[in-house]
Structure 1
Amino acid sequence: MTDMLDQNEIDSLLAAVEGGDVETEVDTGPSLVYSLRRGGITDAELEIRDYDFKRPERVSKDQMRALETLHDVFSRGFGASLSGFLRTIVEVKVADIEQMTFSEFTHSLPNPTCFNLLSCKPLDGSICLDLSPLIIYPIIDRLLGGSNAELFIPQRPLTAIELRLVNKIISRGMDALREAWQNIVEIKFNLEESESNPALVQIVPPNEVVVVVGFEMKMGGRAGTMSLCIPYNVIEPVVERLSNQTWEAYKKSVRNTQIRQRVAEHLEVARVPIRALLAETRLSIGDLKHLQAGDIITTEKPASAPLAMEIGGQRKFIGQLGQYRGNRAFKVTRKIQPKDRV
């Protein structure tokens, strides 16, 4: 039978090792890490990182970068939509993106807040869109005609009237999300529920992995955050579409859209010739030879008939010739149709 050390002997042995009374073997050679794919390699050749089994990374780095780029497109579209709706400049940009558990996400949010559940058909499950009170109350104040000069941020849930106003903001966010995701999968987002306490919402188990995209929102002198929580089981059926090949095609379409926008911006300041065509007729060479000052050239066009406007040599509009502030002017009536003979 093998002899076993009691606790006193174990403590004595550990004390002797720490005091240097017991010599220990030190291996000065390079340690090797053996792999079925790569064979024996040294520590210097291999990057070893800790793996947290409580927070497994189920989405690869490439897919995380693809999601970040995708939601960067969403942030620009959402910012442009809000700027037009609120009649002021609203900046929205991606601040960070990371994987965590759902409980960690809900515990990181303030209470009360503006926590919204969005269904995403045909995908199963729901995603969460959280708007910070620091930015949602200034937006509500703007919608009600305020100036946000000395706005107090109340620590209370949104009222029913405020929720109706916030729904208009969320509706524009869902439209921007749908446009951002349409090259990956056609998703129809719908607002299911709004809650002020995120701890009361359990769309997935607390230890389920979620992808959280953090946004920074600015409007005038006010700033706040927005968070989009996407459970992994929601995007799992389409996560492989975020591969390099598929994503390169998506980024190419995004670049083409950006190029078209830049070309359109340059074309907006380009000048094109515009003229109103009064009338047309034909004269013989003999009449042209005897044409003198004071002669009247008649046409077959009635004096009350509308005129055609040419833009770049192409007839585009129909209208009437008149006078405005002492200058000749053309009043556009309608677009020209193929059947018109003006």
Structure 2
Amino acid sequence: MADVLSQSEVESLLSALDPGVQVRQKRADDPNSQVSIYDFKRPERVSKEQMRGFQALHEGFGREFGAALSGMLRTIVEVKLISVDQLTYSEFVYSLENPSCFNLLTAEPLEGHIILDLNPSIVFPIIDRLLGGGRESTQKLPGRPLTEIEVRLASRITNLAIEALKNAWARICQLDPKISQVESNPQLVQIVPPNEVIVLISFEITMGEMRGIMNLCIPFNTIEPLAGKFSSNAWSTYTQKQADARQSMNLETGVNHAKVKLVVRLAETHLTNSDLLNMAVGDVIPTGTEKSEPLQVDIEGVPKFYAQPGSYKGYTAVQIGKAIRAPEDVVEEKLKSIAATKPPQAQAAT
């Protein structure tokens, strides 16, 4: 039987045949080589800039929610943002405790759902506080789902979170979150496919010696229409401000005194170059327009009114008649008339 070559002998033979093999091997083993790991099962759909936007947006949410929760419980409650990550929905669901306080929210005008999950380690102490008790940190928490009364009490917490979330998202859009379902087993709720990318925003709620985690799960396909607003560093400029009365009056006064170009079209016709070159004094140009037809008044090149020619105090003038409707206004009126003539059953079907 032939002798078996050792690994060092095989490498020496390969290096003798192809000197580039050893170089490629060294490059593969070099820890400083520029190789980035990419998992095709978890595509990075949310950019780092967008993740920073999520972090800045929900830091304000945490402060407002913590202040509201402290006011309701009459004790100091701290809500701290601890992480903003993107992962798949299945990874998020299987990382939660069972049972848990799993709230499914609708968030108009966005499509889809948002999940607000409260860990039992903080929900039960808050409920106990609402009922007048004060559990010690050493006491064991019940490992059971919330009762119907406890769910009603926990809704006071989620309502505060929803209000704070609405105020924080006012910088991006007028979000209207509402609770549609409350579950104790997170695995029974599937709002997106298991491999769908979600943005997971985690907060730590601290009340005295009691601590717990609150998770806000936002599927990427839900916020995809607004993803561009998170990409800009100026996303905070979306904050809506009340218009100042003085500024409004100054703007209105300035616009009212602005000059515009007004043109009255008396008539239109077409001439050839030869007719124009042979034109002389006294020639008559037929326009094909009746003298009784209204004239068109253009403001800044846009047709606005019909008018009749005449004179006023010795000056040539026009008298403004009816307004010229824009094409989009005509289309809107036709659509409304069509909708009004449809029978109720046809409207319900559409």
The structure 1 segments of at least 4 consecutive aligned residues displaced by more than 6 Å after TM superposition are: 28-31
Instruction: Choose the corresponding residue for 1:82, options 69, 74, 77.
Output: 69
Q: Deviation per CA, 1:245-267, whole angstroms, max 9, x where unpaired?
A: 432535xx69x9xxxxxxxxxxx
1:216 equivalent to 2:219? Answer no
Q: Provide the C-alpha distance between the structure 1 equivalents of 2:95 and 2:106, rounded to a whole number of angstroms.
A: 22
1:123 touches 1:234 (CA, 8 Å); kept in 2?
A: yes
Residue in structure 1 matched with residue 215 of structure 2 by the alignment: 227
Aligned to 1:242: 230
Paired letter, 2:154: V
TM-score w.r.t. the length of structure 1 is 0.63
**Partner residue, 1:103:** 90
Separation (CA, whole Å) in 1 of partners of 2:229 and 2:151: 35
Q: TM-score, normalised by structure 2?
A: 0.61
Deviations 1:302-335 (A, max 9, x none): xxxxxxxxxxxxxxxxxxxxxxxxxxxxxxxxxx
| Matched residue, 2:14 | 24
**Percent identical across equivalent pairs?**
48
One-letter amino acid of the counterpart of residue 134, structure 2: S
2:278 alignment partner in structure 1: none
SS in 2 for 1:24: helix
Quick one: distance in 2 between partners of 1:115 and 1:160? 14
Matching residue within 72, 80, 87 for 1:93: 80
120, 125, 130: which one aligns with 2:107: 120
- Contact preservation (8 Å) 1:121, 1:187: yes
Shift of 1:84: 0.5
Task: Classify 1:248/1:48 alpha carbon distance in 2 versus 1 (closer, same or farther; 3 Å).
Answer: farther
* Residues 207-265 of structure 1: CA deviation (Å, up to 9, x unaligned): 11001011101001111111111100000000111122432535xx69x9xxxxxxxxx
1:138–1:148 contact (8 Å) kept in structure 2: yes
Distance 1:226 1:208 in 2: 21
Structure that is richer in helix per residue: 2
Query: In structure 1, what is the Cα distance between the partners aligned to 2:155 and 2:231?
Result: 34
Distance in 1 separating the partners of 2:233 and 2:119 = 36
Give the 5 Å matches for 1:257-336.
Answer: none
User: Which of these residues, 135, 150, 156, is aligned with residue 168 of structure 1?
Assistant: 156
- For structure 1, list consecutive stretches of 5 or more residues without a partner in the other structure: 1-8, 34-42, 257-342
Equivalent residues of 2:171, 2:237 under 8 A apart: no
1:20 aligned partner, one-letter code: E
Partner of 1:324: none
Q: Can you list the C-alpha shifts for 1:17-36, whole angstroms capped at 9, x where unaligned?
A: 724145223437799x9xxx
The DSSP-based 3-state class of the residue aligned with 1:75 is helix
Aligned to 1:336: none
Distance 1:151 1:166 in 2: 20
Aligned to 1:310: none
1:144-184 Cα offsets, whole Å, 9 max, x none, are: 00012264310000000000000111001000001111111
Aligned partners of 1:178 and 1:189 also within 8 Å = yes
The one-letter amino acid paired with 1:188 is: D
Matched pairs, number? 231
CA displacement, residues 119-150 of structure 1 (integer Å, 9 cap, x when unaligned) = 00000000111100000000000000001226
Aligned to 1:130: 117
Q: Which residue of 2 aligns with 1:187?
A: 175
The answer (yes or no) to whether the contact 1:140–1:166 under 8 Å persists in 2 is yes
Structure 1 counterpart of 2:80, which letter? K
Change (3 A) 1:30 1:24: closer
Tell me the amino acid that sits aligned with residue 150 of structure 2.
E
- Tell me the secondary structure at the aligned position of residue 117 of structure 1: strand
- The aligned residue for residue 56 of structure 2 is 69
> How far 1:70 sits from its partner (Å)?
0.7
For structure 2, the residue ranges without an aligned partner over 5 or more in a row are 242-350
3-state SS in 2 of match to 1:23: helix
Contact 1:17 1:23 in 2 (8 A): no
